Structure 1
Amino acid sequence: MEWSFLLRLCVACLCGTVIGLDREYRVKDAGFRTHFLVALGSALMMIVSQYGFDELAASRDGLRFDPGRIAAQVVSGIGFIGAGTIIIHRQLVRGLTTAASLWATAGIGLAAGAGMYALAAAAAALTLFGLEVLTLFFGGLGRKRTLIVFSSPRREAIDALFGRLRTSDYTVISYEVEAVRAGGEALYRATLVIRARGNADEESYIALLREAADVTVERIV
């Protein structure tokens, strides 16, 4: 029986690692180690839920318990990890896909922990299909929003860069400029959220940022 449990853990870890490698390749916060541990923990909880109380049930006649109660808490608990991968700033949301992949990986781990190897493998394959294959076919339908924070001691430089970014290739979702002091020096800091239009390159704005004089790029999300 112990070897059967180890096999279930190994299958869960393998499926979680494969999905995590895809997220690692996409440079996401939750990579193969996180997915590995989520799948491992989910499988372990399922095994404990199914078999961890056999001796207790055998020693007490008429004792009834639900073997799915512990496993059910995995679905709720994984929400805390998933929420940690989601970034919400102004009108920008990041990490939803990674959070969903963690949630799916938890389900795959539960399936492997229950000994449903074919189902776990099929779910892992379908998860990768959704993450990669669907992106190839339908990735151009939705353009992601990009948050850019840049600063300059001259307001004219801020306005000039904004004018260059606000071209026919991009839609400006929001734009805000504030005066701040950094190290005793007055600066103007701009926060801009843009989205590429049509077939425009989503990252062509990087060249514009590099060409801008007297402008410091603080963050791109």
Structure 2
Amino acid sequence: MKLLRRGDSDNPDKNHVEVTESSASSSETTAETAGKTASTPGKGRPTPKRREAEAKRRGPVTPAPLTAKEARARRKATRGSKEERKTAAAERRADAADRRARMLAGEDKYLMPRDKGPVRAYVRDLVDSRRNLVGLFMPLALILIMAMFLNPIIQSYVTLGMLVMMLFMAIEGYVLGRMINNRVRERFPDTADGGFKLGWYAFVRASQIRKMRAPKPRVGPGDAV
């Protein structure tokens, strides 16, 4: 409440006017505040979930077919004409053949993860430049399978020979792994690739027939690496 000054006690009309103006100013301020509050109403609805918003952006979903005939008709309509399918199949075959050719050529981009990197390429070259006894593993395994249909005495000799051969292969695999790891440490002293994993990689490569190795050998037997 506004106090009246002593000098205005003789003029009650003036005091009444000041009180009235103060009340009017307060009413106008309250009205403006209420107007601002009324002008910014809430959304009036909950915020939609992310899944609902994405579904709304994608649009309506095509209902599932009710019959097998309808499903076949829908597949036929979406897969295009016969010529388009032939062209797409030919393009896929050509792309697959190109990727395989690049992989066999040793391009790092198209190799499997186990074959990527200069260390693995160097190991492949070391193995391919040697004549390994373990390379006879697959032919000898085929001979053992064929010997199962021969005379029991011949089977026993073949089995004994295979056991001796496998013993020599295991020894050669151990020596090959040690040699590969030593050469890799000399050529790539900062590499973390090594140990049993690298030795096993070299052994598996050496046990394959040369013409069936992938990537294809880049060096011949006896070549310097």
Length-normalised TM-score, structure 2: 0.27
Q: Which has the higher strand share?
A: 1
Q: Provide the TM-score with structure 1 as the length reference.
A: 0.27
Please tell me whether Structure 1 or Structure 2 has the larger radius of gyration of its CA atoms.
2
